[in-house]
Chains A and B, each alone.
Chain A
Amino acid sequence: MAEKVLMKGNEAIAEAAIQAGCRHYFGYPITPQTEIAAYMAKRMPKIGGTFLQAESEIAAINMVYGVSSAGKRVMTSSSSPGISLKSEGLSYLAGSDLPALVVNAQRGGPGLGGIQPSQSDYFQATRGGGHGDYHMIVLAPSSVQEMADLTIRGFELADEYRMTAMILADGTIGQMMEPVSFDFKFKEVPEKPWATTGTKNARKHNVVNSLYLNPEQLEKTNIERYQRYEIIKEKEAMAEEYLTEDADIIVAAFGIAARVSKNAVNAARAEGIKVGLIRPITLWPFPEKVFAKAADHAKKIISVELSMGQMIEDVRLATACRVPVELCSRVGGMIPSPDQVYNAIVEAARKGGE
């Protein structure tokens, strides 16, 4: 096994991307993800890659669009306000069926908001972000190791399904250092016969395009894309289940919220409360089956989020409202404390018998 090194989450993303064969990075400075750009700026010139600080987030995502059109692995990273700017490009990437990796180290919003961690871009990420019917694969790491692992996975999924994979992280996971090992087995990068690499006068021209003026054709394209989404929902949903088997109370949380929640779950278990944690690793596709199964025995679900309650809607949908779902959250850059989550669990347990 490769030696473990201490690394910031953001740096782990950058290193993993390089190891995944990504040689093109475009970005624009914004806190709290700038370490990714700094890492790329340092490394890319030494390995024959491209680091380019674009004039805007909009330009950066369109440079991504260009490299992806040409069939190469490419990424950009930003934080919440920058992702809003990139949303146009995200929609075009979807409309043109182009693979890309986009990192959002979320910060509090709306507007300029703050620079402290947040999960309030959940809707934006899981519903697509830009205009039109589409999805991105949304991956939610909760450790520095997972920042690396899911970056690799993100590139693979993006290539396999020809769509954007987004790493939906937050300022905390991005800034924290933990041991990480870069010990990966890489899948082969699939052929990209659709890429605009020049015809070499040997084939019909390739066209990368999202314009369909004929509505029947546009409808057909959308329906086909959603058939692909169905396969992804079936095959790619991921979640970690922790002490859920006999749980009366389920805590649902991702990213940094899941780490806080794990402390609370452990503390409550020590008090004899039957509580478990479901940590979605993919936010889209949402791990619906895991929640549906948990709803068979759980009496209450607590959704712990750094938002005013966004994932909670998917939890309710996945459980078809069979179990009451409550919100336990902090916003604006604040993080729920383990005590806050513990108290919510204890309160739920107390009411449980009623």
Chain B
Amino acid sequence: MIVFDRPKALLDVPFHYCPGCTHGIIHRLVAEAIDELGIEGKTVGIAPVGCSVMAYDYFACDMIEAAHGRAPAVATGVKRSDPDNLIVFTYQGDGDLASIGTAETVHAAARNENITVIFINNAIYGMTGGQMAPTSLPGQVTQTSPYGRDVKACGYPVRICEMLSELEGPEYLERVTVNSVANVRKAKAAIKKAFQNQIDGKGFSLVEVISSCPTNWGMTPKEALKWIDDNMIPYYPLGVYKDRSAGILGAADAKKEAK
């Protein structure tokens, strides 16, 4: 009999996330990957500032809460403290990774730091109540772009996978989403690969997960999942942007998915 169980790497505590938020799914995928690879006892996770700030309460492995945007630097320190025996991952949102922590992200990637980065892109600051994110779409209405993101005044969204793919450093960059069963499966495979790469000593592996924020997008959870398809993915195409071991060496030969 197959029983649908909680992964061991997740503690038995209820998430604080809003109904319909996809953080829960992604936490689960990370935990499943940890379970399947049998690395919980040697894994250290770094939580960001943002909605997933309390991820340290959910994962059963050792956890560190980092300052806003600094998780890749903290992860660098942890990994280098015991590179042969520790598996280190960061779990970061778009404000954390692509705005205040851009420098830490870019340089950890450039150094091909042997860590795993799970990047949640939902195009908004959730925890602080729905402000414009570096990844908010042009025209997107948020608390701090009430008339829609005006690219003349606030510039354009940052496409992290595309940007990092131009660096020599990183091993693996893939963008996935979790708005359907099929996509969740693909996301799981990508996350597991990002951990496996670290185990194999291949280096910096980042999985960008296009995520939803029904609360701050002002939608039902179902509408939010559709909005991902209709608005997010056209701007942030899914696919593998870099996979050195597989010969995908940058945006030019990225394997983008149609949809």
Contacts and interface: CB of A to CB of B under 8 A. Distances in A.
Query: Does chain A touch chain B in the assembled complex, meaning CB atoms less than 8 Å apart?
Result: yes
Interface of A: 24, 26, 50, 52, 54-56, 58-60, 62-72, 74, 88-89, 92, 96, 196-202, 205-211
Contacts, number: 135
Given A24-B80, A62-B66, A67-B78, A205 B73 contact: no
The 10 A-B pairs of least Cβ separation, nearest first, read A66-B77, A62-B73, A196-B62, A70-B81, A55-B107, A201-B41, A63-B77, A62-B70, A209-B65, A66-B74
A69 B77 CA distance: 9
Interface residues of B, number: 38
A65 B66 contact: yes
A71 B41 CA distance: 16
Contact of B64 (A63, A66, A201): A66
A170 to B, nearest CB: 28
Given A59-B103, A62-B74, A201-B40, A210 B65 contact: yes
A96 B59 contact: no
B80 A206 contact: no
Interface string B58-96: 011111111100100111111111100111000000000
B54 interface: yes
A78 to B, nearest CB: 15
Given A62-B66, A63-B73, 20 more contacts: A55-B103, A58-B70, A59-B76, A59-B107, A62-B67, A63-B76, A65-B77, A66-B78, A66-B80, A68-B77, A69-B44, A69-B64, A69-B74, A92-B66, A92-B67, A196-B64, A198-B42, A206-B62, A210-B65, A211-B54
B62 A52 contact: no
Contacts of A198: 41-44, 61-62, 85-87
A66 B62 contact: no
A50 B67 CA distance: 22
A67 B103 CA distance: 19
B166 interface: no
A316 B110 CA distance: 51
Nearest to A26: B77
A24 B79 CA distance: 11
Contacts of A208: 63-65
B201 to A, nearest CB: 16
Nearest to B57: A207
A201 B40 CA distance: 7
A56 B43 CA distance: 26
A200 B42 contact: yes
Contacts of B79: 66
5 contacts: A52-B76, A66-B73, A67-B80, A196-B64, A198-B85
A197 B73 contact: no
Contacts of B74: 62-63, 65-66, 69
Nearest to B80: A50
A71 to B, nearest CB: 8
Contacts of A96: 65
A96 B77 CA distance: 16
A171 to B, nearest CB: 27
A199 B62 contact: yes
A75 to B, nearest CB: 12
Contacts of A67: 77-78, 80-81
Contacts of B107: 54-55, 59
Contact of B44 (A58, A196, A210): A196
Contacts of B41: 198-202
Of the listed residues B66, B74, B75, B87, the one surrounded by the most CB atoms of chain A closer than 10 A to its CB is B74
Contacts of B103: 55-56, 58-59
Contacts of A209: 56, 63-65
A72 B82 CA distance: 9
B150 interface: no
B248 interface: no
A59 B40 CA distance: 27
B243 interface: no
B208 to A, nearest CB: 21
A28 to B, nearest CB: 11
Contacts of A68: 77
A44 to B, nearest CB: 11
Contacts of B87: 198
Contacts of B106: 55
Of the listed residues B57, B60, B64, B103, the one surrounded by the most CB atoms of chain A closer than 10 A to its CB is B64
Given A59-B103, A202-B41, A207 B62 contact: yes
Given A56-B103, A62-B104, A211-B54, A205 B62 contact: yes
B67 A199 contact: no
B255 to A, nearest CB: 30
A54 to B, nearest CB: 7
A72 B81 contact: yes
Contact of A52 (B65, B67, B80): B80
Of the listed residues A26, A65, A68, the one surrounded by the most CB atoms of chain B closer than 10 A to its CB is A65
B53 interface: yes
Contacts of A201: 40-41
A39 B54 CA distance: 39
Contacts of A55: 103-104, 106-107
A72 B173 CA distance: 31
A66 B75 contact: yes
A201 B60 CA distance: 9
Contacts of A70: 44, 77-78, 81-82, 86
Contact of B63 (A74, A92, A205): A205
Of the listed residues B42, B53, B73, B85, the one surrounded by the most CB atoms of chain A closer than 10 A to its CB is B73
Contacts of A60: 73
